[in-house]
Amino acid sequence: MRSRTVLSALTMAAALAATLAPAPAQARSPQPHGTCPRLSTKLKWHGDNRARLQRTIDARGKCSSGRHGGNHGQRPVAAFDWDNTIVKNDSTDATIAWALKHDKILRPKDWADTSKWLTPAADRALTKACGTDVPVGHPLPTSSNAACADEILQVRGEAETMSGEKAFAGDWNHRRTVPEYAWVPQLFAGHTVPELRSYARAARDEALAAPVGSEQNVGTHTVPAYSRYYEQQKDLLRTLKRAGFDVYIVSAGSEPVAEEWASGVGIDREHTFAIRSVVRNGRITTFTEGCGGMPRSKGEVIPYIEGKRCVINQEIYGIKGARAWQRQDWRHRIALGGGDADTDVTFVGDATGTHLVLNRNKPEIMCRGYDDADGRWAVNPMFIEPLPRKQEPYPCATEGFTNPDGSLGPVRRSDGSVIPDQEDAAYGTEA
């Protein structure tokens, strides 16, 4: 695995020692206010969100003279989810759609081998729809075989077959993985990483060129045809970098796909994390790398809810083993985090400066965002095609939290108290 650790072992030891014995802050000369990186005032943000973000940039970036600004000699870190946080619509789904339209999915020997949780019903449905005439390892004709494309999209998008049967079953930690997410890189097994990157680039270019709001037909499914990088987020990323932040993407999509799309906003591969497939003999396999002491598996651990925290702790801060699953001390946490869904809620909540949330009506992250327990949450409508107001309150007090076994329960603050139901307050005016 390539090393992308920010802290060396010696630096880690020194930082941990500093948490036990406070040391004088490193002196830093504040820069004149006029030279401090500023967010554009020409781009619209909801409420005082721009000001909240700017305060964190000023307090933690190169313009800060305080002890918190430099994280004791280390560059402050900002981390963001990708799909629907930095870019409108799902880049992984766009890549799948492109692959289906161009016959880029290779026929597996056995569909059941693609996921340890795939049900017999899904195995039968995929086998029937996609057939067995194509030799194993050769491209399926999904551009012309609508039934095959439909089953693949339905399993990925709805975790069910076209006839409505469950596509995945069994036991998994619902705060560390979700089978239909893990299935995406498994769909590309047999390809090389450069091949998958080329598909992602082609899908990206096509989606960025399509008109906003446009749709396309894949099989008999109608799916978004377009994508856009949010101008506000591009400006935020640029400003953070100018202010001296290390900026990372942490996605629950396929890593080669996320890398190609992230390059469009100046985030390189070393700063992009997603589901990392195990590659053997130059080919992507159905296995994925583990995290936090967990071994390689067929998707039991991916960057999903607690899995995103694990990746940040392990890959950015060099924290290994079971400790990577735990919330760290202030010096080993990101300054700013941004996301749009419950898959992002843990790492966004770990941020010590601002927790930025784009409203897609996902219960746990919206409960925490609107509760604003620490006064640092900034909830914003989506910048393109924002959702209208959610009419019913978020069920924070009863079933806003997903437990590891998949059951639902109340969302609790760090002190154990239950967050009351929350009304939607940051929404769009578009129906």
First to last CA, the chain: 46
| Low-confidence residues in the chain, pLDDT < 70 | 1-34, 65-73, 430-431
State how beta strands 246-254 and 272-275 pair: parallel
Decide if 183 contacts 114 (C-beta within 8 A).
Answer: yes
pLDDT given for residue 26 in this prediction: 33
Q: Token match 């313009």: residue?
A: 63
How far apart CA 117 and CA 302 sit, in angstroms, is 15
Both structure tokens of 313: 């702790």
Q: What is the pLDDT of residue 70?
A: 47
pLDDT value, residue 3: 41
Instruction: Note whether 330 and 352 are within 8 A (CB).
Output: yes
pLDDT at residue 66 in the model: 54
pLDDT in the model for residue 287 = 98
The string of DSSP codes covering 78-103 is EEE--BTTTEES-HHHHHHHHHHHTT
User: What are the φ and ψ backbone dihedral angles of 273, each rounded to 5 degrees?
Assistant: -120, 140
Q: For residues 290 and 298, give the distance between their C-alpha atoms in angstroms, rounded to a whole number.
A: 9
Q: What is the pTM of this model?
A: 0.90
% of the chain beyond a pLDDT of 90: 88
Q: What is the per-residue pLDDT for 73?
A: 60
pLDDT of residue 429: 76
pLDDT given for residue 427 in this prediction: 97
> 194 in helix, strand or coil?
helix
β-strand partners of 381? 359
pLDDT at 22: 33
Helix, strand, coil percent values for the chain (each to nearest 5):
35, 15, 50
Among candidate residues 289, 293, 259, the one with its CA nearest the CA of residue 277: 289
Please state the φ and ψ torsions of residue 61, each to the nearest 5 degrees.
Answer: -90, -160
Write out the residue limits of the CATH 3.40.50.1000 domain(s) in the chain. 9-21+34-89+229-409
- What CATH fold (topology level) applies to the domain 9-21+34-89+229-409? Rossmann fold (3.40.50)
